[in-house]
Amino acid sequence: MKNQRNYLSVIFLLLGVFILAGCSLNTVSAETATGEIIVEGTVEAKEITVASKVPGRIAEVLVEEGMKIKNEQILLQLETKEMEAKKKQAEGALMGAQAIHQKAKNGARPQEIELARANVIMAEAKAKLLEDTYKRLKNLHEAGAYTTQELQKTETEFIAAKAQAKQANEQLGMALEGARQEDIMAAQANVLRAEGAFDEINTALDEATIKTPLKGTVDSVMHYKGELIGTGTPLFTITDYSDVWAEVNLKDSEVNKIKIGDEVNVEFEDTKSLGKVLSINRNPDFAIIKSTNDMTDRDIITYLVKVKILEPQNFFPGMRVKVAF
């Protein structure tokens, strides 16, 4: 009796192996007598994860799980008080930089030029007066009527006055010539830097309003009002169930029998739809069956084929479907 039970166990084990082998073969493909290729595949759909580009505190979440949404619909709003304050700072810095740049381009005003001329006249007059005084005292010093110390003091004042007159003339020349090209370029660089900071904060304000990049269905909401989030934090997953396709693997002996645009039939239990071949990957995917005889057999190489499902209403991601080419 014991031997009989062992014998039955071996039979059932062998049957299981044969069944699994048959199932493995069917997951690749099978060709009917009419030449139709039937292969099992998996339904996929376009799915994205929406993340935050800027950090902040969530002010409001405007969608719920299961909600159908349109393209560019607002999903979430971050608080913007801090960003608005930074925008005012950036705007003020930009206005200041623009004013300095404009001043450098325009040069001195007429009033500033006249003031510079007046400073030259006063400085030169002072220098001339001290020069005459120095010459007179020098003659007196030589005659013994003036001390050396007093003469040196007057000479020092005369030299300083000459330097001031020279400086006043240089300032007048700068006022007449206007700013140097290097100064204008430096002022322009400050304007560009301020514009960049202003644009950056405006972009951050735009990014505080998070929108969906495609239409579809909200599958998950990961964060809620009041939570602090960082840059790159995932917030929602959205799936477009109108853009659905099946991925199948065809053997190397079959892939040349189809082409992009071919119509196919897609079936899941009692649900059927027409389909169209979207793409054929020319790179081999994997070996589904390993060779058992190095002399005669070879691995079966498969190629990934994507088939668009034209009536996707009742086809959902993850379904195992049959595709007939």
Q: Give tens-digit pLDDT for 112-121.
A: 777 777 888 8
Q: Are 240 and 297 in contact (CB under 8 A)?
A: no
264 occurs within a structural domain:
no
Range of the domain at 165: 84-204
Q: How many domains in the chain? A: 1
Residues 86-112: what's their mean pLDDT?
Answer: 82
Does residue 240 sit within a domain?
A: no
- Domain assignment present for residue 304? The answer is no
132 in any annotated domain: yes
Q: How many CB atoms lie within 10 A of CB 302?
A: 24
Has residue 21 got a pLDDT over 60?
no
Indicate whether 174 belongs to any domain.
yes
Tell me, what's the pLDDT at 125? 85
> Which pLDDT belongs to residue 286?
56
Rounded mean pLDDT of 225-247? 93
Amino acid occupying residue 33: A
More confident residue, 308 or 33: 308
pLDDT at 29 over 80: no
Q: Please, what is the average pLDDT of the chain?
A: 82
Q: Is 138 domain-assigned?
A: yes
| % of the chain with per-residue pLDDT over 90 | 42
37 assigned to some structural domain: no
Say yes or no to pLDDT of 292 above 90.
no
Taking the model in full, what pTM does it have?
Answer: 0.58
At 145, list the tokens.
């009527």
The most confident of 67-81, 126-140, 247-261, 294-308, by mean pLDDT: 67-81
CA neighbor of 268 nearest in space, from 249, 246, 288, 250 = 246
Tokens matching residue 42: 């998996």
Q: Does position 299 have pLDDT exceeding 80, yes or no? A: no
Q: SS3 of 77, please?
A: strand
Residue 39 lies in a domain: no
More confident residue, 180 or 117: 117
Residue located via tokens 């995932």: 234
Instruction: Give tens-digit pLDDT for 44-94.
Output: 999 999 999 999 999 999 999 999 999 999 999 999 999 999 999 999 999
